[in-house]
Structure 1
Amino acid sequence: MESTLKALRDGESVLDLSPRSTVSGGVEDIYGEDRATEDQLVIPWTVSVASGYSLLRDPQYNKGLAFTEKERDAHYLRGLLPPTVSTQQLQIYLLISMREKKLMNSIRQYQVPLQKYVAMMDLQERNERLFYKLLIDNVEELLPVKYGSIFRRPQGLYISLKERGKILEVLKNWPERSIQVIVLTDGEWILGLGDLGCQGMGIPVGKLASYTALGGCLPITMDVGTNNEKLLNDEFYIGLRQKRATGQEYYDLMHEFMTAVKQNYGENVLVQFEDFANHNAFELLAKYGTTHLVFNDDIQGTASVVLAGVVAALKLIGGTLPEHTFLFLGAGEAGTGIAELIALEMSKQVIKPTVLIGSLGVGRTFTKEVVEAMTSNNDKPLIMALSNPTSQSECTAEEAYQWSEGRAIFASGSPFDPVEYKGKVYASGQANNA
C-alpha cells in the first residue's frame, strides 16, 4: 500500500488486476458509490488513473463530493474539495437544483438535436458518472438524443480489415477489462441513413448509453469499407476508402472477431449485432447463435416489443393471435423478425403436439425443455429422434426417459442400449428403413 500511495503522490498510474472490484474486496455499485470494507483506501480503478487534481478532471472516475474521507486522504484530494461529503444522489439533486437544472431547461428549449447533444456531451466530459445518472433519471426525455454521433474522444473500438490477424490484440487495447456487453455494427444499414461505414460508431455508442446499468459495455465498429460514394469521395471521411468486403473475406474477419471476443472476455459476454444489412444480419445470428451469446435488436428486440403490443391489444380488439390476419409492409430485419416471432407465439398457443419427430441431422436439439413441454401436454408423448449416427441423434434414449419421467415412448434412427430408470428397464425401438 505504501508503494501505491507513493506512486499516486508522484503522479504515476496504478494498475489494478481486478477490474471493477475494490482493492480490499468491496463492490462498486452502478452509480459509483463504493460499498467497501473498513480498510478500503482506494476506489476501484479499471486500468490506471491519476490522483489529486488530475483525478478530479477525469470524467470516468471523478465522484466529486462523494469521495469519502479515506479516499480523499488516499488520493491527495484534501483542499481540492469542500469539506462536505455527500452521496452522488444528493449531488444530482443539488446540481439539478442549481447548474444542471439550468442545463435541463436549456436542453428543453433547444429545437436542434445537435444542440441537445452538445449540452449533454459537455456534462459527460466533466463527470461521466453524473452524466449517466442524469440520463437514467430522465431517460424518457434524454434517450432520444443520439449520443456519440460526433467524434470528440474515443468512445469505442474501430476494427477494420487492416487488423486482420490482430483483432485479439486490438481488443486488449481497450482499457476496460470487465466487459459484459458489446454492441457491434458494420455501419451498412443505419435506419433512415443507409450505409455510413466507419461513421456508424454513433449507433453502438448511443445504444450503450441506455445499457450503462449493466456494467462494462463496449461499442465496436467493424470497418469493412463502404459502398456510399459520397463518403468515399469525402476528404474528411475517417474510414477505409474502399468498397465493402463481401463473401469469405467478410465472414473470415467476423469469425476472427467472434473468436477473439470469447478469448478476451469469456463465454458470457453478450455481442449485440446492430444495424447490419439483411444478408449478413440473419446469417450472423444463425451462425453464432449456438456458440456465442448473441442478440440482434432489429430482428429480436423490435419483434418482442411489437408482439407484446399485439398481445396487449387483443384485450381490446378480441380474439386470439391465430384468429387474426397480419399484413407486413417491408421485409427487412424488423418486419421479418416480427413475423417469425408472431408465428412462433401462434405455434405455442394452437400446436400441442403428441408426436415429436426429429430428422434435422443436428444432435441434442430435443432439449430437456422440449421433452418436458411434450410431457406436460401428453400422458405418453411419442418422441422419435431419427437422425444418424448416434452422435447426431436429437436426444438419447436415456434423456428422453429421464426428462419425461419414464412416460415417453421413444424411437431412434440409431440403436440405444436399454435404459434403467427408477427401477424399471426401458428398451427403445429403432425406426429407420433397416
Structure 2
Amino acid sequence: MSLSHTASKEVDLNDPKQLALHKLYRPERVTPREKGYDLLKNPRLNKGMAFSLYERHYLGIHGLLPPAFMTEEQQAYRVMKKLREQPDDLARYVQLDELQDRTEKLFYRVLCDNIKELMPIVYTPTVGLACQKFGAIYRHPKGLYITINDNSISKIHQILCNWPYSSVQAIVVTDGERILGLGDLGAYGMGIPVGKLALYVALGGIQPQWCLPVVIDKLLDDPFYIGLRRRRVRGPEYELLLDNFMKAATKRFGRDTLIQFEDFAFENAYTLLDRYKNEYCVFNDDIQ
C-alpha cells in the first residue's frame, strides 16, 4: 500500500533546495501497522483530508474523515491562513506544535514552503518564550527525558530503547541550564532540541525519524513543572550521568550518530566538548 506524501511538481535534482525537498517528500511505500482510527492518530502516517477514496476504504478510515478531498497544497494554504490570523507568535508556535502532533508531513511542508516566515516561530526568538511557558502549553511528548534517577548505562539504554525508531542519526541534547540566555529552565528546555531538529529536517532535508531530542533533567517553583523536582546535580554525579548517556546512546544507535550539545552552561559546554570530542561524533554550535 503506497501512501505517497510527495509534491506533484517536477523536481530539478540539480537544484540543492529542490533536492532537499525531494528527499523529504520522496515516495514512500508503507505497510501501516495501524488502520482505522489508530492510523489517523499517527502523525507519521496521517495525511488529513489528502487520503484518496481508495486509501480511505483500504485503510478503514472511510467515514472517519469529511467526505471532501483536499491536496497537501490546499491544506498547507489553510494552515498558513490560520497562522497569520493568530494574535501573537506564541499562539502561532502552539498551532504549529499541534500540527506536528497531528500530521508531520504537512507540518514540514508548511515549514519548508514558508521557512523565512516561520523560522522565528519554530526556533529563536519565539522558542525561548515557549520554553518559559512549556509547562502551560505542554500537550504531547516529543523527545526523551533522562534524569539523575536513571544514572546508569542500563537504565539510560532502556529509555533510549523506548524510543520507537532505531534509525536515529542525529541527537540534540540539552540539560536546560542556559536556554537562550534566559537562564536555567530545566526540563522546559525540551523546546530547544525539538526546534533545532525541526530545522535539521526543513533545511537539511533529513528524515524526521532520524532525529531524537533529549533533555537531561536535573525548576521547582512552577506548579506546572514537568521535570524532576530536585536541585540541579553538579560535580562527579553530573559527569557520570553524561558519561552514561554517551555510552548508552552509542550502544543503542551506533558510534556514527551525531550528538549535538545544546544550551549547556558555558563551563559545562567547554568541559563536555573537550571530554568527548575525540571519542564520539559530537559538536556544540554555541561555542564552536
State which of 131, 136, 149 in structure 1 corresponds to 2:112: 136
State which of 36, 51, 61 in structure 1 corresponds to 2:35: 51
Partner SS, residue 178 of structure 1: coil
Q: What is the match of residue 239 of structure 2?
A: 251
Which TM-score applies when normalising by structure 1?
A: 0.52
Give the direction of change, closer, same or farther, for the CA distance of 1:196–1:245 in structure 2 (3 Å limit).
Answer: same
- In the alignment, is the contact (CA less than 8 A) between 1:269 and 1:293 conserved in 2? yes
Distance 2:232 2:66 in 1: 55
Distance 1:115 1:65 in 2: 24
Q: What is the match of residue 427 of structure 1?
A: none
Partner SS, residue 260 of structure 2: strand
- In the alignment, is the contact (CA less than 8 A) between 1:32 and 1:129 conserved in 2? no
Distance 2:159 2:83 in 1: 38
Q: Give runs of aligned pairs for residues 5-404 of structure 1, distance below 5 A.
A: 29-31=23-25, 33-34=27-28, 36=29, 43=30, 49-64=33-48, 67=51, 74-78=58-62, 91-97=71-77, 99-107=78-86, 110=87, 112-145=88-121, 146=126, 149=131, 150=134, 151-165=138-152, 166-212=155-201, 213-215=205-207, 216-224=210-218, 231-300=219-288
Give the direction of change, closer, same or farther, for the CA distance of 1:106–1:168 in structure 2 (3 Å limit).
Answer: same
1:84: how far off?
A: 9.2
Larger Rg over CA atoms: 1
1:200: how far off?
A: 1.2
Give the direction of change, closer, same or farther, for the CA distance of 1:159–1:101 in structure 2 (3 Å limit).
Answer: closer
- In the alignment, is the contact (CA less than 8 A) between 2:76 and 2:109 conserved in 1? no
Q: What is the match of residue 404 of structure 1?
A: none
Partner SS, residue 271 of structure 1: strand
Which ranges of structure 1 fall in alignment gaps of 5 or more residues?
2-27, 37-42, 225-230, 301-434
Tell me the matched-pair count: 250
What is the percentage of aligned positions where both structures have the same residue? 47
Amino acid of the structure 1 residue aligned with 2:197 = L
Distance 1:136 1:124 in 2: 13
- In the alignment, is the contact (CA less than 8 A) between 1:182 and 1:219 conserved in 2? yes
- In the alignment, is the contact (CA less than 8 A) between 2:179 and 2:189 conserved in 1? yes
1:128: how far off?
A: 1.8
Distance 2:232 2:27 in 1: 45
Which ranges of structure 2 fall in alignment gaps of 5 or more residues?
2-21
How far does the alpha carbon of each residue in 1:297-341 deviate from its partner, in whole angstroms, 9 at most, with x for none? Answer: 1112xxxxxxxxxxxxxxxxxxxxxxxxxxxxxxxxxxxxxxxxx
How far does the alpha carbon of each residue in 1:92-149 deviate from its partner, in whole angstroms, 9 at most, with x for none? Answer: 322244x334214314xx3x32111122223223322101110111111111114564
RMSD: 2.8
Give the direction of change, closer, same or farther, for the CA distance of 1:81–1:234 in structure 2 (3 Å limit).
Answer: closer
How far does the alpha carbon of each residue in 1:199-256 deviate from its partner, in whole angstroms, 9 at most, with x for none? Answer: 11111111111112322111100012xxxxxx33334322223332222111111011
Distance 1:76 1:236 in 2: 38
